[in-house]
Amino acid sequence: MSTYTQPLVSVDVVLLTLKDNQLCTLLARRDVEPFKGEWALPGGYVHTDEDEVAEDSAVRVLATKAKLTSPYLEQLQTFTGRARDPRGWSVSVAYFALVPSSLLPADPGPNRRWVPVAEMDGSEMPFDHADIVRAAVHRLRSKTLYSTLPVHLIPEMFTLSQLQAVYETLLQGKLDKRSFRRHVEALGVLEALNGQTLQAGHRPARMYRVKPSMRGTLTLAPKNLDVLSVD
């Protein structure tokens, strides 16, 4: 049994969404010390009496601080050390979550704020939260290259043009329409919906969705390997 002082264990959540073609993350104003009054990632201590696993803590944080249930949620990385929190040695299991902005209320609520990640580069953040956000964005961009993870940033049904626009925002560049469609088709994760189309004053676009059998296995490996769980 350990005789050492135990670290404090919390979770932090990088909740990402697209607003006006910009990748944004939710910040909450801290109402307790340390860093009281500053904008930080939503987070909280693990409640060992009510959470079975740390992911439950992250779900609870999302429900409490963002009034959200069941967006895509994935463990990101764990940030540890003596220096990251003035209260002492701490462990933060960081998660990132993806949600379509259509599921969000227009107003994030008091002491809540959506900040474009592009604007966060220079700015200061409490703890090592700037590192956590960077890691989350990096993970999302990496997975965008070989999976359909970004579907979680748009509503359940979508057109391929909408999906391509999401990819272009995330990857920060134009994609060729033909190549993009070949690419997502090859992933084999999407299915066209028979009669469903989206009208917008021109040729209607077919609607797609993730195949029901593919829910939860959106992250596909480059080629040879099976579905990746982490990475």
List residues binding DNA (CB under 7 A): 159-161, 176-179, 181-183, 186, 197, 199-206
Overall residue count recorded for the chain in this entry: 231
Beta carbon nearer to DNA, 122 or 201:
201
Q: How far is the CB of 122 from a second copy (least distance, A)?
A: 19
Span from 53-61, 101-109, 188-196, 203-211 in contact with a second copy (CB under 8 A): 53-61
State how far Cα 19 lies from the chain centre: 13
Sequence-separated (6 or more) residues with CB below 8 Å from residue 92: 9, 10, 11, 12, 43, 78, 79, 80, 84, 127, 132
Binding partner of residue 106 among DNA, a second copy, none, CB under 5 to 8 Å per kind? none
Site string for a second copy, 92-131 (x = CB under 8 A): -x--------------------------------------
Beta carbon nearer to DNA, 67 or 177:
177
Binding partner of residue 160 among a second copy, DNA, none, CB under 5 to 8 Å per kind? DNA
Q: Binder to a second copy among 20, 31, 48, 174 (CB under 8 A)?
A: 48
Distance from C-alpha of 212 to C-alpha of 171, rounded to nearest angstrom: 27
Distance from C-alpha of 34 to C-alpha of 158, rounded to nearest angstrom: 43
**Interior angle at CA 143, CA 222 and CA 128, nearest 5:** 140
Return the CA Rg of the chain. 19
Would you count residue 89 as binding a second copy (CB under 8 A)?
A: yes
Question: What φ, ψ does residue 107 adopt, rounded to 5°?
Answer: -105, 125
Binding partner of residue 31 among a second copy, DNA, none, CB under 5 to 8 Å per kind? none
Residues 114 and 26: beta-carbon distance below 8 Å:
yes
What tokens were used for 71? 């967006």
Beta carbon nearer to a second copy, 202 or 223:
223
Per DSSP, the three-state class of 69 is: coil
Closest CA to 93 of 144, 132, 49: 132
Sequence-separated (6 or more) residues with CB below 8 Å from residue 144: 150, 167, 170, 171
Would you count residue 186 as binding a second copy (CB under 8 A)?
A: no
Distance from C-alpha of 33 to C-alpha of 40, rounded to nearest angstrom: 12
> Which residue type sits at 40?
A
Beta carbon nearer to DNA, 97 or 151:
151
Binding partner of residue 2 among a second copy, DNA, none, CB under 5 to 8 Å per kind? a second copy
Binding partner of residue 77 among a second copy, DNA, none, CB under 5 to 8 Å per kind? a second copy
Which residues sit at the interface with a second copy, rule CB under 8 A? Answer: 1-2, 4-9, 32, 45-49, 51-55, 75-78, 80-83, 87-89, 91, 93, 135, 138-139, 141-143, 145-146, 171, 221-225, 228-231
